[in-house]
Structure 1
């Protein structure tokens, strides 16, 4: 891990690595000193990019984070910039758990008597927020969900007016007054709540819409019900209103079955309205409004009470990653994850395509062969499905990743896996399965940011730490998403969507451990409702379900 060194211009992440990472822009011809030798750079190397530590021949293996991340496609002199033209993806093979893992847990003494103020549920879970959830079982009901949203939010004090509405209002005034349209001055302000809340203990009414539930495979519809059941059971949800058409694949009975699988004694209000069984759509909506309002009065009786930090269930996610993500934000989040695990809490590491190349390390961290076997099976099955449609894991990096130094999936993955820290892997789950054990769980999700965060919330997370190097606004309807910048420039430039800054690690001002401890303190305050994330303030409630079948 990086120590404080504000003058550092480059970094060797692991002693086995044969490339260095530029921490600032380096000029072609610039001489840098490393372990007693002088390297003269053959190319300009922008910050976040990598250059060779030694001459390399065609086919030579490149190592970062101590693992294989690619092979060079041509002879490269020492000090050459690595690009998509001279490096191709390569990753190490994996098979079974081959060694026992010994974990050196971090010092948690200062947090042993700490707690957060949460909402205690009858099943023993503790919420960090108290939401009412409205959801459709099929896309046919999306319009009705949107109608309920319009009806409830403004009248109950949850509606927000944004700078964009005010800007349109200003332009309308200019037109009405016969003025020439002027771009400036248009008001630019923070989002604000329009009126006081009617239900002070209810943090919000959250409305989900989606494009599933029918028309695809039965597998997709059942999996959708499983994820929605996870949202119903999620401790941040106090009660649920469900709209169903009636004839779709995603039947009410399937949702109820999936809920019982997750909580056999489910006790939250579950209000179901099926349109084809009603006298009219208007009657269904009228009934839904009345019963939901009554449910909100009940949810408003919930109050925060102290809860041990072992009740935290923290998802760790990355999106819009850059060449610093695996050096600053991800390791710092990983250290915070280790603290949570050591305190008896749960951590969920998702995005299986971004674990490509570090599978053997994770297999060896599994607590037993059965857990390792589940991980290996899910990884190979997912990789096989991707190849079957002509898109292997090597195609995961985005143009933004390439531009900022993540030029193979293995480079991206080796850095992304750092979010999971170093604790033992106690469980492995498929998409839509619910958290079962404390410690680190591997959750099979896509690398797609929203499909992944949707899965994390559906698996029981009550907080999500989301790292980004380029800037990603992703949020979630029921689970606070904390946006962590890998570099201070991003944190400053996009301060309206970024919550935490790990850039001090790159600057040499802070260590990974110090930053991770700060993240844990932030999570405790967030879990207690002392503040909201930027995504929450912006109403960034993203929900995309991961479909794996064809459309029929």
Structure 2
């Protein structure tokens, strides 16, 4: 790899700047020599040859846009001179082969996980407290206040202490010292952990469950059932008001569909039946405490790597994401699939333009047809409200070189590696087949990670080029940076840096192997991810048809 520019695929007609390049600089790539027509910021792309209006822009070997005005060789492609365009897709047109990577290094390796009666294995052991309707959010938060500090799960609130220190300075007449007051590092809250085998109690709140359309309430119940069924969850306390659309019976029906022999501790309380708020809360707290005693009896034991279920996510992407972080995650996904595990690729708006490749990777016609149906239904729904997949790139994406959805998608799809697609799932459906599964979700970071945990992911790999402080309540999220500058600037959120790929110091294969080793440590509880350390418990159910 040149240390200045990169041609991602032999068929591409654009080059990627790996560092800031000044106007007039002579660029040599293979036999090509050209002079840059303008400054090219790192991560951006520039024309390899003169382009006429209407000419197709090719990157990653696929159509990612078209020129809308003349673009001279050495000029940057931008939202001003290029518009989104993507390849069309049909049903399965061919069968693609797959050469699995060598996994001999990991064949006999295990991780230390929590074994559930249904055969799943958790990478963590959490208790859930969840409302069936937004009316119960307040009660969930009261239970949280009662439990967290007393059970040793809370952390010192450094920002509250920071304000207290400023108040003291103000009251003592030392206002001039406030601007220089340092923020102290967080420390233990002084309470010893009561339950050593429980990683935490997670309190989910949301704005759904009633109002809106009945399909939203059904989807919410299915999502919450997926969270309760997730192997990282030991048991749950569910609060219902009683009169809402998201009825207890619907949740129980969804749980039974996931596992007819469901046996985890499950406490369901309905406020309109219990009577006073005090009676509801005392019951919830008492019964939850007894449930925690049972959950604490489960300990970590060795599990094969085939029990890993890896969610694949990207957010705050930049022009390097599709070159370093996403392919490295794709390599890790291929390794896990080769070991008999599962991986989940979501974010359907960010598969725009690479549909045919994924269709041809599907193991059979039925799987391929399901993907086609879900992609088209999602695209039509977006267009019906005056939007479209072409509106997916954010201002941050565009600023850092992802100027069309097809460019963003071609890079985002690299997270799925090269393995066959064994299943295609709609939102809230559960991943049960070993191999790579496609899951219909928005590209929105939190809605997508929320969905993957609800579909069974016990680890999530999350790539970012700009920095995204996102986590999940029940599934450890490993944050992967596409460039070393980000890893150095935001070390509190980044777990793995794939910048050495851009620098030419490591290969995609080497980074993928390192990532798998890191996953094993996180899955065994030996390493807490940065998202876990920061208590980043983001949870947003998808209201279908609104998000991209």
TM-score, length-scaled by structure 1: 0.98
Give the alignment of 1:185-200 within 5 angstroms: 185-190=181-186, 192-200=188-196
Once residues 188 and 371 of structure 1 are traced to their aligned partners in structure 2, the CA distance between those partners, rounded to angstroms, is 53
Deviation at 1:192, TM superposition (A): 4.3
Q: Can you list the C-alpha shifts for 1:246-290, whole angstroms capped at 9, x where unaligned?
A: 000000000000001011110001100100001211101000000
Give the alignment of 1:142-221 within 5 angstroms: 142-180=137-175, 182-190=178-186, 192-221=188-217
Once residues 173 and 120 of structure 1 are traced to their aligned partners in structure 2, the CA distance between those partners, rounded to angstroms, is 50
**Is the partner of 2:34 in helix, strand or coil?**
strand
2:472 is aligned with 1:476: yes
Deviation at 1:202, TM superposition (A): 0.5
Name the CA shift for 1:404/1:285 in 2 (closer, same or farther; >3 Å).
same
**Is the partner of 2:161 in helix, strand or coil?**
helix
193-202 or 320-329, which moves further after superposition? 193-202
2:268 is aligned with 1:268: no
Q: What runs of 5+ residues in structure 1 fail to find an aligned partner? A: none
Name the CA shift for 1:193/1:51 in 2 (closer, same or farther; >3 Å).
farther
Give the alignment of 1:330-349 within 5 angstroms: 330-349=326-345
Once residues 353 and 131 of structure 1 are traced to their aligned partners in structure 2, the CA distance between those partners, rounded to angstroms, is 31
Whether the 8 Å CA contact 1:191–1:538 is kept in 2: the answer is no
Aligned twin of 1:54 = 49
Aligned twin of 2:518 = 522
Give the alignment of 1:284-299 within 5 angstroms: 284-299=280-295
Q: Can you list the C-alpha shifts for 1:291-318, whole angstroms capped at 9, x where unaligned?
A: 0000000001000000000000000000
Deviation at 1:185, TM superposition (A): 2.4
Aligned twin of 1:21 = 16
**Is the partner of 2:235 in helix, strand or coil?**
strand
Once residues 195 and 9 of structure 1 are traced to their aligned partners in structure 2, the CA distance between those partners, rounded to angstroms, is 53
Once residues 57 and 16 of structure 1 are traced to their aligned partners in structure 2, the CA distance between those partners, rounded to angstroms, is 18
Q: 1:114 aligns with which of 109, 113, 133?
A: 109
Q: 2:224 aligns with which of 222, 228, 232?
A: 228
176-185 or 83-92, which moves further after superposition? 176-185
Q: 1:40 aligns with which of 29, 35, 43?
A: 35
Name the CA shift for 1:155/1:49 in 2 (closer, same or farther; >3 Å).
same
Once residues 250 and 194 of structure 1 are traced to their aligned partners in structure 2, the CA distance between those partners, rounded to angstroms, is 39
Q: Can you list the C-alpha shifts for 1:455-501, whole angstroms capped at 9, x where unaligned?
A: 00000000000000000001000000111000000001000111110
Deviation at 1:362, TM superposition (A): 0.0
Aligned twin of 1:87 = 82
Once residues 194 and 331 of structure 1 are traced to their aligned partners in structure 2, the CA distance between those partners, rounded to angstroms, is 43
Once residues 411 and 132 of structure 1 are traced to their aligned partners in structure 2, the CA distance between those partners, rounded to angstroms, is 41
Aligned twin of 1:317 = 313
Q: What runs of 5+ residues in structure 2 fail to find an aligned partner? A: none
Whether the 8 Å CA contact 2:202–2:474 is kept in 1: the answer is yes
2:448 is aligned with 1:452: yes
Aligned twin of 1:128 = 123
Q: Can you list the C-alpha shifts for 1:338-383, whole angstroms capped at 9, x where unaligned?
A: 0000000000001000000000000000000000000000000000
Aligned twin of 1:100 = 95
Aligned twin of 1:9 = 4
Name the CA shift for 1:112/1:410 in 2 (closer, same or farther; >3 Å).
same
Deviation at 1:173, TM superposition (A): 2.2
Once residues 338 and 32 of structure 2 are traced to their aligned partners in structure 1, the CA distance between those partners, rounded to angstroms, is 41
Aligned twin of 1:281 = 277
Q: Paired residues, what number? A: 545
Whether the 8 Å CA contact 1:69–1:90 is kept in 2: the answer is yes
Whether the 8 Å CA contact 1:162–1:192 is kept in 2: the answer is no
Once residues 407 and 187 of structure 1 are traced to their aligned partners in structure 2, the CA distance between those partners, rounded to angstroms, is 39
Deviation at 1:110, TM superposition (A): 0.5
TM-score, length-scaled by structure 2: 0.98
Deviation at 1:165, TM superposition (A): 2.4
Q: Give the root-mean-square deviation of aligned CA atoms.
A: 1.0
